[in-house]
Amino acid sequence: MREEFPIFQAHPELIYLDSAATAQKPRCVIDALTKFYSEEYATVHRAIYRHAVHAGQAYHDAREAAARFLNADWDEIVFTRGTTDGINLVAKSYGRTHLQEGDEILISEMEHHSNLVPWQILAKKTGAILRYIPMNEQGVLEWEGTIRPRTKIVAVVHISNVTGTINPIQEIAEEAHRYGAVIVVDGAQAAPHIPIDVRRLDVDFYAFSGHKCYGPTGVGVLFGKKELLEEMPPIDGGGDMIDQVTYGATTYQKPPLRFEAGTPIIASVIALKPALEFVQRNRSFGVLLKHCTERLNAISHLKILGKAREKGPVITFHIEGVHPLDLATLLDVKNIAIRSGHLCAQPLLAKFGLTHAARASFGVYNTISEVDLFADEIDRIVKKLR
């Protein structure tokens, strides 16, 4: 598998354990970008010459690929700049037109800032009340009984970027709909690792990023149920999202183009298609996660955050007496790349009494031997610094 990733040919010594932040790129994605820029470059939705028509078809093919990836219809797929952009689109367009003062937005205590800050902004703007689903010491949401008649939006992460907890999205969605609320799901960590079926989950909105799915940066996908997208106003104006424009008024395209103002991120969208197809062929992390968890649990003074039974390939940990930034620096000397810091989840880390933590996360290119080298090096560092 590693041979499909040019970075490991350039740096064979690299042990990359930061895929939860961004995944490395396989040759098929790099080739798609290179071919488009060097042989097929043209704009989309604006011209009838051959290169433009071909680019437009490739752009639409990517939308259909994203729809297949989620088991959705192509006109329920909005291209965004990433998960953050998708969630903000929902908050600004759906949220501002459907919330009134006193309505409730329910999110969880384990959210990434991208699924927290937009709802804080929305609550302040509309007078809605922001409430939180509590998380227990095991890193599991205690969500039963938290959805109430005044709840209008439930926003929850599918897989936590800190604890790795896989949340029961289908059950939460069913309860949200029982109270007439919509559910918005942050799928950034789930999309690269587990099959996503938005029909089975019955979610109203689902957002994820291309770059975490081995695709290009700058592109993301927002799924929205067709009937919801059709009633939502655009939040950005410009070319491509219009139907008719006069000096007096403007009418808009139907979704999804209504939400894609301006020249789109054409190359990244086109290269997203082989990335998603790559993900669908390569999903496996259970062995690595189990082995790494066992190795780290055997290291003295090291505590793993979150002990849910169902977890994605993310292990966040803290070592008593060793600052995460120091740990990451020492590991980097040995060509081992991990994440350290607040992990874009300051309130969640605060629940564990921390301001910083270290995180290892896995991709399809990682191996058992890499996990062993990683664990051996941490053990050596702990013995040296303590």
* Segment 230-269, tens digit of pLDDT: 999 999 999 999 999 999 999 999 999 999 999 999 999 9
> What gap in Å lies between CA 314 and CA 366, rounded to an integer?
13
Catalytic residue flag (residue 344): yes
Do residue 276 and residue 304 come from a single domain? no
Which DSSP letter does residue 74 get? Answer: G
The answer to whether 143 and 101 have CB atoms below 8 angstroms apart is no
So what's the pLDDT on residue 168? Answer: 99
Do residue 330 and residue 227 come from a single domain? no
Do residue 52 and residue 171 come from a single domain? yes
Q: Which positions ≥6 away from 63 have C-beta within 8 Å?
A: 74, 77, 79, 256, 269
| Domain stop point among 213, 247, 280 | 280
Do residue 272 and residue 308 come from a single domain? no
Do residue 125 and residue 271 come from a single domain? yes
Cα 202–Cα 224–Cα 45 angle in degrees, nearest 5: 145
| Domain stop point among 280, 308, 342 | 280
So what's the pLDDT on residue 261? Answer: 97
Do residue 74 and residue 167 come from a single domain? yes
> What gap in Å lies between CA 294 and CA 18, rounded to an integer?
19
Do residue 177 and residue 52 come from a single domain? yes
Do residue 213 and residue 111 come from a single domain? yes
Residue 285: pLDDT band by 50, 70, 90 thresholds? confident
So what's the pLDDT on residue 386? Answer: 74
Percent of the residues in the chain that have a pLDDT greater than 70, as a whole number: 100
Cis peptide before 256 (omega within 30 of 0): yes
Q: How many domains does the chain have?
A: 2
Q: What is the pLDDT of residues 336-378, one digit of tens each?
A: 999 999 999 999 999 999 999 999 999 999 999 999 999 999 9
> What gap in Å lies between CA 210 and CA 230, rounded to an integer?
24
Residue 33: pLDDT band by 50, 70, 90 thresholds? very high
Has residue 331 got a pLDDT over 90?
yes
Q: What is the pLDDT of residues 186-231, one digit of tens each?
A: 999 999 999 999 999 999 999 999 999 999 999 999 999 999 999 9
Average pLDDT, the chain: 98
Do residue 209 and residue 303 come from a single domain? no
> What gap in Å lies between CA 220 and CA 79, rounded to an integer?
6
Any idea what the CATH number is for the domain that residue 316 is in? 3.90.1150.10
Convert 252-280 to b/e letters by CB count within 10 Å (16 or more is b).
bbebbbbbbbeebbbbbbbbbbbbbebbe
Do residue 200 and residue 322 come from a single domain? no
1, part of any domain: no
| Domain stop point among 259, 280, 301 | 280
Using alpha carbons only, how large is the chain's radius of gyration in Å?
A: 22
13, part of any domain: no
pTM equals 0.97
The tokens describing 258, both together, are: 């209504």
So what's the pLDDT on residue 1? Answer: 86
Any idea what the CATH number is for the domain that residue 235 is in? 3.40.640.10
Do residue 73 and residue 151 come from a single domain? yes
Cα 82–Cα 84–Cα 89 angle in degrees, nearest 5: 95
7, part of any domain: no
Do residue 208 and residue 324 come from a single domain? no
Residue 99: domain span: 28-280
9, part of any domain: no
Helix H or strand E encompassing 327: helix 324-333
Has residue 327 got a pLDDT over 90?
yes
Has residue 127 got a pLDDT over 90?
yes
> What gap in Å lies between CA 386 and CA 318, rounded to an integer?
14
Residue 286: pLDDT band by 50, 70, 90 thresholds? confident
Mean pLDDT score, 42-63: 96
Burial class of residue 100 (count of CB atoms within 10 Å of its CB; 0-12, 13-18, 19+): exposed
